[in-house]
Structure 1
Amino acid sequence: MLGLFSPIKKQNKPVMKKIFLLVALVVSFHITVTAQRDNNDSPQPAARSIYGEIGGPGILSLNYDQRFKGQKGLGFRVGAGGIGFLTSGVFAIPVGLNYLSGRNGHYLELGAGASAITITDGEDFFENNSSTVFGYLNFGYRYQPEKNGFTGRVFVSPLITGAGVFPFYGGISFGFKF
Protein backbone atom coordinates (compact mmCIF):
# COMPACT_ATOMS: atom_id res chain seq x y z
CA MET A 1 0.00 0.00 0.00
CA LEU A 2 2.84 2.39 0.77
CA GLY A 3 4.22 1.81 -2.71
CA LEU A 4 1.10 3.42 -4.13
CA PHE A 5 1.94 6.77 -2.48
CA SER A 6 5.74 6.67 -2.77
CA PRO A 7 5.96 8.55 -6.13
CA ILE A 8 4.31 11.56 -4.47
CA LYS A 9 7.08 11.84 -1.89
CA LYS A 10 9.82 11.71 -4.54
CA GLN A 11 8.49 14.62 -6.61
CA ASN A 12 10.74 17.59 -7.12
CA LYS A 13 9.76 20.49 -4.80
CA PRO A 14 10.57 23.26 -7.34
CA VAL A 15 8.11 21.65 -9.79
CA MET A 16 5.39 21.63 -7.11
CA LYS A 17 6.07 25.32 -6.38
CA LYS A 18 5.73 26.17 -10.08
CA ILE A 19 2.44 24.28 -10.33
CA PHE A 20 1.12 26.01 -7.20
CA LEU A 21 2.10 29.45 -8.54
CA LEU A 22 0.48 28.72 -11.90
CA VAL A 23 -2.79 27.64 -10.25
CA ALA A 24 -2.74 30.72 -7.96
CA LEU A 25 -2.15 32.99 -10.97
CA VAL A 26 -5.04 31.46 -12.95
CA VAL A 27 -7.41 31.72 -9.97
CA SER A 28 -6.48 35.35 -9.26
CA PHE A 29 -6.88 36.26 -12.96
CA HIS A 30 -10.34 34.66 -12.98
CA ILE A 31 -11.37 36.55 -9.83
CA THR A 32 -10.13 39.86 -11.28
CA VAL A 33 -11.98 39.37 -14.59
CA THR A 34 -15.17 38.36 -12.78
CA ALA A 35 -14.98 41.37 -10.44
CA GLN A 36 -14.48 43.77 -13.36
CA ARG A 37 -17.34 42.25 -15.31
CA ASP A 38 -19.67 42.47 -12.28
CA ASN A 39 -18.77 46.14 -11.69
CA ASN A 40 -19.67 47.07 -15.27
CA ASP A 41 -23.03 45.28 -15.24
CA SER A 42 -25.98 47.37 -14.18
CA PRO A 43 -27.81 45.76 -11.28
CA GLN A 44 -30.96 43.91 -12.28
CA PRO A 45 -33.94 43.49 -9.98
CA ALA A 46 -34.51 40.01 -8.58
CA ALA A 47 -36.70 37.88 -10.85
CA ARG A 48 -39.95 36.82 -9.16
CA SER A 49 -42.66 34.49 -10.40
CA ILE A 50 -45.86 32.80 -9.33
CA TYR A 51 -46.76 29.48 -10.93
CA GLY A 52 -49.06 26.51 -10.70
CA GLU A 53 -47.42 23.11 -10.63
CA ILE A 54 -48.75 19.67 -11.52
CA GLY A 55 -46.59 16.96 -9.96
CA GLY A 56 -43.43 17.84 -8.09
CA PRO A 57 -43.09 18.12 -4.33
CA GLY A 58 -46.40 19.98 -3.90
CA ILE A 59 -48.49 17.40 -5.84
CA LEU A 60 -50.91 20.04 -7.24
CA SER A 61 -49.66 23.39 -5.95
CA LEU A 62 -49.37 27.16 -6.21
CA ASN A 63 -45.80 28.47 -5.73
CA TYR A 64 -43.74 31.64 -5.37
CA ASP A 65 -40.17 31.68 -6.73
CA GLN A 66 -37.53 34.42 -6.47
CA ARG A 67 -33.87 34.88 -7.35
CA PHE A 68 -31.73 36.39 -4.60
CA LYS A 69 -30.45 38.87 -7.20
CA GLY A 70 -30.71 39.26 -10.94
CA GLN A 71 -32.43 37.02 -13.46
CA LYS A 72 -30.51 33.80 -12.83
CA GLY A 73 -28.34 32.23 -10.18
CA LEU A 74 -29.43 31.17 -6.71
CA GLY A 75 -33.03 31.52 -5.59
CA PHE A 76 -35.78 29.95 -3.51
CA ARG A 77 -39.31 28.64 -3.82
CA VAL A 78 -42.18 28.16 -1.39
CA GLY A 79 -45.62 26.81 -2.11
CA ALA A 80 -48.80 25.18 -0.87
CA GLY A 81 -50.73 22.38 -2.45
CA GLY A 82 -52.06 18.88 -2.24
CA ILE A 83 -55.01 16.87 -3.38
CA GLY A 84 -58.12 15.65 -1.63
CA PHE A 85 -61.85 15.53 -1.26
CA LEU A 86 -63.76 17.24 1.57
CA THR A 87 -62.25 15.77 4.75
CA SER A 88 -59.60 13.40 3.41
CA GLY A 89 -56.53 14.14 1.38
CA VAL A 90 -52.95 15.31 1.33
CA PHE A 91 -51.74 18.84 2.12
CA ALA A 92 -48.16 19.80 1.12
CA ILE A 93 -45.86 22.76 1.76
CA PRO A 94 -42.76 22.55 -0.48
CA VAL A 95 -39.77 24.81 0.21
CA GLY A 96 -36.39 24.73 -1.49
CA LEU A 97 -33.37 26.37 -3.03
CA ASN A 98 -32.71 26.33 -6.76
CA TYR A 99 -30.11 27.55 -9.20
CA LEU A 100 -30.71 28.78 -12.76
CA SER A 101 -27.95 28.66 -15.37
CA GLY A 102 -28.44 29.84 -18.94
CA ARG A 103 -29.29 32.92 -20.99
CA ASN A 104 -31.95 34.60 -23.09
CA GLY A 105 -34.77 33.16 -21.00
CA HIS A 106 -33.72 29.49 -21.35
CA TYR A 107 -32.33 27.97 -18.17
CA LEU A 108 -31.15 24.72 -16.68
CA GLU A 109 -32.72 24.49 -13.22
CA LEU A 110 -31.10 22.52 -10.40
CA GLY A 111 -32.51 22.45 -6.89
CA ALA A 112 -33.18 20.66 -3.63
CA GLY A 113 -35.61 21.08 -0.80
CA ALA A 114 -38.12 19.54 1.55
CA SER A 115 -41.86 19.18 1.54
CA ALA A 116 -43.97 18.93 4.70
CA ILE A 117 -46.92 16.62 4.12
CA THR A 118 -50.08 16.11 6.18
CA ILE A 119 -52.33 13.19 5.28
CA THR A 120 -55.84 13.24 6.72
CA ASP A 121 -58.69 10.74 6.62
CA GLY A 122 -61.43 11.79 9.00
CA GLU A 123 -64.47 13.93 9.55
CA ASP A 124 -62.38 17.08 9.78
CA PHE A 125 -58.84 18.10 8.96
CA PHE A 126 -57.53 17.58 12.50
CA GLU A 127 -58.96 14.09 12.95
CA ASN A 128 -57.02 10.96 11.94
CA ASN A 129 -54.10 12.78 10.35
CA SER A 130 -50.41 12.01 10.09
CA SER A 131 -47.53 14.21 9.04
CA THR A 132 -44.13 13.64 7.51
CA VAL A 133 -41.36 15.48 5.69
CA PHE A 134 -39.57 14.26 2.58
CA GLY A 135 -36.68 15.62 0.59
CA TYR A 136 -36.56 16.23 -3.13
CA LEU A 137 -34.10 17.11 -5.86
CA ASN A 138 -34.95 19.06 -8.98
CA PHE A 139 -33.46 18.79 -12.49
CA GLY A 140 -35.22 20.59 -15.29
CA TYR A 141 -35.69 23.19 -17.98
CA ARG A 142 -37.20 26.61 -17.24
CA TYR A 143 -38.34 29.23 -19.71
CA GLN A 144 -38.33 32.59 -17.92
CA PRO A 145 -38.32 35.75 -20.06
CA GLU A 146 -35.92 38.60 -19.29
CA LYS A 147 -38.92 40.92 -18.87
CA ASN A 148 -42.34 40.17 -17.37
CA GLY A 149 -44.42 37.42 -18.93
CA PHE A 150 -45.25 33.74 -19.20
CA THR A 151 -42.91 31.25 -17.56
CA GLY A 152 -42.91 27.47 -17.80
CA ARG A 153 -40.98 24.55 -16.37
CA VAL A 154 -40.58 20.84 -17.09
CA PHE A 155 -38.60 18.81 -14.56
CA VAL A 156 -37.69 15.52 -12.96
CA SER A 157 -37.93 15.63 -9.18
CA PRO A 158 -36.68 12.49 -7.37
CA LEU A 159 -38.31 12.12 -3.94
CA ILE A 160 -36.30 11.02 -0.90
CA THR A 161 -38.58 9.47 1.73
CA GLY A 162 -38.34 7.12 4.68
CA ALA A 163 -39.58 4.36 2.36
CA GLY A 164 -36.77 4.95 -0.14
CA VAL A 165 -35.91 7.04 -3.18
CA PHE A 166 -38.42 7.47 -5.99
CA PRO A 167 -36.25 8.62 -8.93
CA PHE A 168 -38.86 8.87 -11.68
CA TYR A 169 -41.15 11.57 -10.35
CA GLY A 170 -41.53 14.96 -11.96
CA GLY A 171 -43.90 17.60 -13.13
CA ILE A 172 -44.73 20.63 -15.20
CA SER A 173 -45.59 24.19 -14.23
CA PHE A 174 -46.92 27.37 -15.81
CA GLY A 175 -46.98 30.86 -14.39
CA PHE A 176 -46.12 34.52 -14.68
CA LYS A 177 -42.83 36.33 -14.06
CA PHE A 178 -43.02 39.88 -12.69
Structure 2
Amino acid sequence: MKKSVLIIALFLALQPLAFAQDKIPQFDTRHKNIYVEFLGSHILAGVNYDMRLKKGVMDGIGFRAGVGGISTTTSDIDSEVSLGIVTFPLEINHLVGKKRSSFVTGAGLLPVYASFSSEAGTLDDYEYITGEGFAVVGGFLSMGYRYQPKKSGVMFQFHWNPLILRGTGFNAGWFGLGIGVGFK
Protein backbone atom coordinates (compact mmCIF):
# COMPACT_ATOMS: atom_id res chain seq x y z
CA MET A 1 0.00 0.00 0.00
CA LYS A 2 2.79 2.42 0.90
CA LYS A 3 4.51 1.60 -2.37
CA SER A 4 1.34 2.37 -4.37
CA VAL A 5 0.83 5.73 -2.62
CA LEU A 6 4.49 6.64 -3.25
CA ILE A 7 4.22 5.76 -6.96
CA ILE A 8 1.00 7.76 -7.35
CA ALA A 9 2.52 10.76 -5.50
CA LEU A 10 5.62 10.58 -7.70
CA PHE A 11 3.45 10.37 -10.83
CA LEU A 12 1.39 13.40 -9.76
CA ALA A 13 4.55 15.39 -8.93
CA LEU A 14 6.16 14.67 -12.31
CA GLN A 15 2.99 15.14 -14.38
CA PRO A 16 3.33 18.97 -14.73
CA LEU A 17 6.86 18.50 -16.02
CA ALA A 18 5.64 16.17 -18.75
CA PHE A 19 3.04 18.69 -19.93
CA ALA A 20 5.44 21.65 -19.61
CA GLN A 21 7.70 20.31 -22.33
CA ASP A 22 5.58 21.82 -25.09
CA LYS A 23 5.73 25.25 -23.36
CA ILE A 24 9.38 26.11 -23.87
CA PRO A 25 10.12 29.61 -22.58
CA GLN A 26 11.18 32.12 -25.23
CA PHE A 27 14.40 33.89 -24.29
CA ASP A 28 15.43 37.29 -25.60
CA THR A 29 17.87 36.51 -28.43
CA ARG A 30 18.64 40.07 -29.47
CA HIS A 31 22.34 40.62 -30.05
CA LYS A 32 23.86 43.02 -27.50
CA ASN A 33 27.27 44.62 -26.93
CA ILE A 34 28.71 46.38 -23.90
CA TYR A 35 31.93 48.18 -24.65
CA VAL A 36 34.34 50.90 -23.59
CA GLU A 37 34.81 53.63 -26.17
CA PHE A 38 37.85 55.90 -26.42
CA LEU A 39 37.31 59.29 -28.07
CA GLY A 40 34.26 59.07 -30.36
CA SER A 41 31.03 60.66 -29.15
CA HIS A 42 32.17 60.60 -25.51
CA ILE A 43 34.83 63.27 -26.20
CA LEU A 44 37.43 61.28 -24.16
CA ALA A 45 36.12 57.92 -22.86
CA GLY A 46 32.87 56.20 -21.94
CA VAL A 47 30.86 52.98 -21.68
CA ASN A 48 28.13 51.98 -24.19
CA TYR A 49 25.27 49.50 -24.39
CA ASP A 50 24.31 48.54 -27.97
CA MET A 51 21.42 46.26 -29.02
CA ARG A 52 19.78 45.11 -32.26
CA LEU A 53 16.01 45.69 -32.33
CA LYS A 54 15.13 42.51 -34.22
CA LYS A 55 15.50 39.17 -32.44
CA GLY A 56 17.82 36.52 -33.83
CA VAL A 57 19.95 38.72 -36.13
CA MET A 58 23.37 40.35 -35.77
CA ASP A 59 22.70 43.10 -38.32
CA GLY A 60 19.96 45.61 -38.98
CA ILE A 61 18.65 48.54 -36.98
CA GLY A 62 19.62 49.00 -33.35
CA PHE A 63 20.41 51.61 -30.76
CA ARG A 64 23.25 52.66 -28.50
CA ALA A 65 23.18 54.50 -25.17
CA GLY A 66 26.23 55.45 -23.16
CA VAL A 67 27.78 57.49 -20.40
CA GLY A 68 31.27 58.97 -20.28
CA GLY A 69 33.15 62.22 -20.11
CA ILE A 70 36.15 64.09 -18.84
CA SER A 71 37.26 65.94 -15.73
CA THR A 72 40.21 68.29 -15.52
CA THR A 73 41.70 70.84 -13.15
CA THR A 74 44.47 73.30 -13.90
CA SER A 75 46.11 75.62 -11.43
CA ASP A 76 48.93 78.09 -11.02
CA ILE A 77 50.00 80.43 -8.22
CA ASP A 78 46.99 82.75 -8.39
CA SER A 79 44.18 80.65 -9.88
CA GLU A 80 42.54 77.27 -10.23
CA VAL A 81 40.08 76.20 -12.94
CA SER A 82 38.03 72.95 -12.82
CA LEU A 83 35.88 71.53 -15.62
CA GLY A 84 33.79 68.38 -15.56
CA ILE A 85 31.79 67.05 -18.52
CA VAL A 86 29.53 63.99 -18.46
CA THR A 87 28.29 62.81 -21.88
CA PHE A 88 25.18 60.72 -22.55
CA PRO A 89 25.29 59.82 -26.28
CA LEU A 90 22.09 58.34 -27.73
CA GLU A 91 22.30 56.80 -31.20
CA ILE A 92 20.17 54.95 -33.73
CA ASN A 93 22.46 52.75 -35.80
CA HIS A 94 22.42 50.18 -38.59
CA LEU A 95 24.77 47.25 -39.18
CA VAL A 96 25.30 45.71 -42.62
CA GLY A 97 26.85 42.23 -42.55
CA LYS A 98 25.37 38.91 -41.48
CA LYS A 99 28.64 37.42 -40.20
CA ARG A 100 30.99 38.65 -37.50
CA SER A 101 32.24 41.66 -39.52
CA SER A 102 29.86 44.54 -40.11
CA PHE A 103 29.78 48.05 -41.53
CA VAL A 104 28.17 50.29 -38.90
CA THR A 105 26.44 53.62 -39.58
CA GLY A 106 24.52 55.80 -37.17
CA ALA A 107 23.30 59.21 -36.10
CA GLY A 108 22.74 60.49 -32.61
CA LEU A 109 22.25 63.25 -30.10
CA LEU A 110 24.81 64.33 -27.51
CA PRO A 111 23.28 65.42 -24.18
CA VAL A 112 25.93 66.75 -21.78
CA TYR A 113 26.06 67.72 -18.13
CA ALA A 114 28.89 70.19 -17.43
CA SER A 115 30.20 71.92 -14.34
CA PHE A 116 32.78 74.70 -14.18
CA SER A 117 34.50 76.49 -11.33
CA SER A 118 37.22 79.11 -11.26
CA GLU A 119 39.07 80.62 -8.33
CA ALA A 120 41.45 83.51 -8.95
CA GLY A 121 42.98 86.46 -7.24
CA THR A 122 45.03 87.58 -4.29
CA LEU A 123 44.13 88.03 -0.64
CA ASP A 124 42.84 91.55 -1.30
CA ASP A 125 40.95 90.77 -4.53
CA TYR A 126 39.55 87.23 -4.75
CA GLU A 127 37.00 86.01 -7.31
CA TYR A 128 35.09 82.70 -7.42
CA ILE A 129 32.98 81.73 -10.44
CA THR A 130 30.93 78.54 -10.70
CA GLY A 131 28.30 77.13 -12.99
CA GLU A 132 26.67 73.90 -14.07
CA GLY A 133 24.00 72.74 -16.48
CA PHE A 134 22.49 70.05 -18.67
CA ALA A 135 21.91 70.52 -22.40
CA VAL A 136 21.92 68.83 -25.78
CA VAL A 137 25.11 70.33 -27.19
CA GLY A 138 24.84 68.79 -30.65
CA GLY A 139 24.84 65.56 -32.53
CA PHE A 140 27.16 63.09 -34.17
CA LEU A 141 27.43 60.62 -37.03
CA SER A 142 29.14 57.20 -37.05
CA MET A 143 30.60 55.17 -39.89
CA GLY A 144 33.02 52.32 -39.36
CA TYR A 145 33.86 48.68 -38.86
CA ARG A 146 32.57 46.35 -36.12
CA TYR A 147 33.77 42.83 -35.32
CA GLN A 148 31.38 41.03 -32.99
CA PRO A 149 30.96 37.42 -31.83
CA LYS A 150 28.13 35.25 -33.13
CA LYS A 151 27.06 34.23 -29.62
CA SER A 152 29.32 35.71 -26.94
CA GLY A 153 32.89 36.95 -26.77
CA VAL A 154 35.08 39.93 -27.56
CA MET A 155 33.84 42.73 -29.83
CA PHE A 156 35.85 45.51 -31.45
CA GLN A 157 34.76 48.67 -33.24
CA PHE A 158 36.63 51.45 -35.07
CA HIS A 159 34.62 54.34 -36.52
CA TRP A 160 34.80 57.81 -37.95
CA ASN A 161 32.69 59.95 -35.65
CA PRO A 162 32.20 63.55 -36.85
CA LEU A 163 30.68 65.79 -34.20
CA ILE A 164 28.21 68.57 -34.96
CA LEU A 165 28.34 70.92 -31.97
CA ARG A 166 26.31 74.06 -31.32
CA GLY A 167 28.40 77.14 -31.80
CA THR A 168 31.38 75.38 -33.40
CA GLY A 169 29.77 73.51 -36.29
CA PHE A 170 31.00 70.37 -38.03
CA ASN A 171 34.15 68.70 -36.64
CA ALA A 172 35.06 66.03 -39.22
CA GLY A 173 38.37 64.91 -37.72
CA TRP A 174 37.02 62.79 -34.87
CA PHE A 175 37.46 59.00 -34.54
CA GLY A 176 36.42 56.43 -31.95
CA LEU A 177 37.72 53.04 -30.85
CA GLY A 178 35.61 50.56 -28.88
CA ILE A 179 36.39 47.23 -27.25
CA GLY A 180 34.10 45.09 -25.13
CA VAL A 181 31.93 42.00 -25.01
CA GLY A 182 29.07 40.89 -27.26
CA PHE A 183 26.37 38.40 -26.26
CA LYS A 184 22.86 37.17 -27.00
Is the shorter-chain TM-score for this pair beyond 0.5, marking a shared fold?
A: yes
What corresponds to 2:48 in structure 1? 63
Structure of higher CA gyration radius: 2
Question: Which residue number in structure 2 is paired with residue 100 of structure 1?
Answer: 95
Contact 2:58 2:98 in 1 (8 A): no
Residue 143 of structure 2 aligns with an amino acid whose one-letter code is F
Contact 2:85 2:113 in 1 (8 A): yes
Q: CA deviation at 1:168?
A: 1.2
- Read off the aligned partner of 1:96 and give its amino acid letter: E
Structure 1: where are the runs of 5+ without partners?
Answer: 1-43
Aligned partners of 1:45 and 1:71 also within 8 Å: no
Amino acid at match of 1:155: H
- Shift in Å, 1:93: 0.3
Matched residue of 2:41: which SS?
A: helix
Question: Could you tell me the TM-score, scaled by structure 1's length?
Answer: 0.69
SS in 2 for 1:78: strand
1:65 Cα deviation from its structure 2 partner: 0.3
C-alpha distance in 2 between matches for 1:109 and 1:49: 13
1:176: which partner in 2?
A: 181
Match of 2:107 in 1: 112
Structure 1 match to 2:151:
147
Separation (CA, whole Å) in 1 of partners of 2:107 and 2:46: 17
- Normalised to the residue count of structure 2, the TM-score between the two structures is 0.67
In structure 1, what is the equivalent of residue 83 of structure 2?
Answer: 88
| Alpha-carbon distance, 1:120 to partner | 1.4
Post-superposition CA distance 1:26-76 (Å, at most 9, x none): xxxxxxxxxxxxxxxxxx921011000001111210110000012110000
Find out whether 1:129 has 2:132 as its counterpart: yes
Which 10-residue stretch deviates more, 75-84 or 156-165? 156-165
Structure number with greater CO (CA < 8 Å, separation at least 6) is 2
Equivalent of residue 65 in structure 2, options 48, 72, 78: 78
- Tell me, in whole angstroms, the C-alpha distance in 1 between the residues paired with 2:50 and 2:72: 28
Cα deviation code 1:94-142 (max 9, x no counterpart)? 001000001320000000001111221128xxx4124442110000000
Q: How many pairs are equivalent?
A: 133
Q: Does the 8 Å contact 2:153/2:181 carry over to 1?
A: yes
Q: When you count helix as a share of all residues, which structure comes out higher? A: 1
Show structure 2 runs of 5+ residues with no match. Answer: 1-27, 74-81, 119-129
Counterpart secondary structure, 1:100: strand
Query: What is the CA–CA distance in structure 2 between the aligned matches of 1:148 and 1:91, rounded to whole Å?
Result: 30
